[in-house]
Structure 1
Amino acid sequence: MNEIGGTSLGDVPIETNTRDIGDERLEFDVAQLPLDPRLRISIQNYDTDVRDVIRRAYVQRGPCQPRNHEFPPKKMGNKDRRFCVSWYNEYPSWLEYIIAKDVVFCLYCYLFSSSDGSFVNGGFSNWKRKDIIRKHVGAPSSAHNQARVRYESFKNQRQSIQLCFIKQSHQARTEYRIRLNASIDCVRFLLRQGMAFHGHDESEDSNN
């Protein structure tokens, strides 16, 4: 998990990506992409050629979840309320907390949802209404869960493609060996009989 406020961002490899877009050349360093959701550019505002690169960088980093921070109290009614770090355990892969504003965001929805809301724009901070977080998650067909499915598919996409290539490569090698061995057997048979390499009797009754 990544943290803002003097703590580690994790072992994120520094990678500079370059994409040709028409006559223009777009360059950016994904390691410099802001963790703070308030500073992030909407995914829809990136060129379509680089959106997946941006998404991959944020997926690799994971949600911003500072744990050693002293979360400030906020007066709500006649009680002081504050963000509970235990909520990370309930929503480990998408709940993000921003120290500077004392608000939470949703990583899934930022990366893969076309709908806006407090968990994407502005953040959520009504700590006495934890039920709003559950409401944000919603039913299986909710915008959040649709974004979650796209997030998980995207996260597993690279591994699935690599596995597919490995399987195809193994199958291709196996088929090549079969063809090679059959060709060698044919060559040995013809050499032993002193026969030409072109056929002279291709009838069904021929043993050759």
Structure 2
Amino acid sequence: MSKHTNLFTFLKRKEPEPATTTTNEEVMPESSTPVIEQNIFETHRTETDETKDLLLSLERYPGLRVPMWDYRYEKRDQTRRAYLKLKPYQPILKSFLFSGPDSHHRRFQASWYKRFPDWLEYSTSKNVAFCLLCYLFADKPNRNTKTFTLVGFNNWKKVNDGDNCPFITHVGGGPCSTHNNSVRAKIDLLNDRGHIRHALISRREEQIKRNRVRLMTSINVVRLLTLQACPLKGHNESENSENRGNFLEFHKAFARYNDKVSKAIENTDYNAKYVAPSI
């Protein structure tokens, strides 16, 4: 007779080695929380925390920022919202730096912020002006946007030149100017309720409600007919039948006296009505 074999015939159990510590190290008590749970708690972050971290990490000074098109596509809208929340960088200094020829020194004026409060920015490091909205929403720089997004504007003597003011020229007179397109992009971004994501979520919630109404209607009809010991299926359940059976006829009666049930049942495909015999 052969010797009885089992798992331990081939595998020998290894005894655990005793923990060794040196005299210069203290033994840390084992935590009551498993390591996996600790990692979950440590890595769990709320959207508010991420927003705060993003606000702290953004480059505040115009001219030193990373161009918006260098951000990953999925991070751009979040970064744009953060910059809009911070608002344009508009420092008010006792004296701004002079620029231009020695005979005609000019400098930036803080009063210009009031004329263009939503987008005008001043870079203290480069002594130039930028447009926050074009930086956030304009495409890669072209002749119309390069000055106010990458290079910066500092020809101060032309600012008070009436309609020829470069700031007014930058905004443009038509609704389709690059700056005005950026303004509309800002409005669309902040109109969060009109975002396609919310539209899809709202539509999905409405669909769920209609599905529940249809399902509960079918359940209540089945419970009623079962309680009264009535058959559910009819001899002819086709659309042209005058009597499609108790289940479908009661179903129709419920819809006739309840607008919510009627809308839920009528505005749907046949396969989503929860009236198929197999269901």
TM-score by length of 2: 0.54
User: How do 1:4-153 residues align onto structure 2 when only pairs under 5 Å count?
Assistant: 15=50, 31-67=56-92, 69-72=93-96, 74=98, 81-113=106-138, 114=140, 115=142, 116-130=145-159, 131-138=165-172, 139-153=174-188
The answer to whether the 8 Å contact 1:14/1:30 transfers is no
Query: C-alpha root-mean-square deviation of aligned residues, in Å?
Result: 3.3
Distance 1:70 1:198 in 2: 88
Hey, what's the Cα distance between the residues in 1 that align with 2:98 and 2:73?
A: 41
* Aligned-partner residue type, residue 117 of structure 2: P
Q: Any conservation in 2 of the 1:43–1:110 contact (CA below 8 Å)?
A: yes
More helix by share: 2
Contiguous gaps of at least 5 residues in structure 1: 1-12, 17-27
- Indicate the structure (1 or 2) with the bigger Cα radius of gyration: 2
Q: CA deviation at 1:205?
A: 2.2
The Cα offsets for residues 151-203 of structure 1, whole Å up to 9 and x where unpaired, read as 322232x3323642563255235313421442244124412431234444436
CA gap of 1:188–1:127, structure 2 versus 1, over 3 A, is same
Distance 1:104 1:163, change over 3 A: same
Identity %: 36
Is 1:73–1:80's contact at 8 Å kept on the other side of the alignment? no
Q: Return the alpha-carbon distance in structure 2 between the equivalents of residues 182 and 51 of structure 1.
A: 46
Shift of 1:79: 7.0
In the other structure, the counterpart of 2:222 is 187
Provide the residue aligned with 1:159 in structure 2. Answer: 193
Contact 1:15 1:31 in 2 (8 A): no
Q: Find the aligned partners of 2:157 and 2:49 in 1 and give their Cα distance.
A: 39
Tell me, in whole angstroms, the C-alpha distance in 1 between the residues paired with 2:126 and 2:113.
17
- Paired residues, what number? 184
- Aligned residues of 2:67 and 2:135 also touching (Cα < 8 A): yes
The one-letter code sitting in structure 1 at the alignment partner of 2:168 is R
Contiguous gaps of at least 5 residues in structure 2 = 1-47, 160-164, 247-279
**Aligned position for 1:171:** 206
Find the aligned partners of 1:145 and 1:137 in 2 and give their Cα distance: 7
Relative distance call for 1:201 and 1:49 in structure 2 (3 A) is closer
| Residue in structure 2 matched with residue 9 of structure 1 by the alignment | none
Aligned-partner residue type, residue 105 of structure 1? F
SS in 1 for 2:151: coil
| TM-fit CA distance, 1:109 | 1.4
Question: d(CA) in 2 for partners of 1:136 and 1:90?
Answer: 13
The reply on whether 1:196 has 2:231 as its aligned counterpart is: yes
Q: Which has the higher relative contact order, 1 or 2, with Cα contacts under 8 A spaced 6 or more apart?
A: 1
Q: TM-score, normalised by structure 1?
A: 0.69
Provide the rounded CA distance (Å) in 1 between the counterparts of 2:194 and 2:235.
49
Q: 1:177 to 1:47 in 2, by over 3 A?
A: closer
| Residue type at the aligned position of 1:205 | E
More strand by share: 1
- Which stretches of structure 1, 4 residues or longer, exceed 6 Å deviation after superposition? 75-80
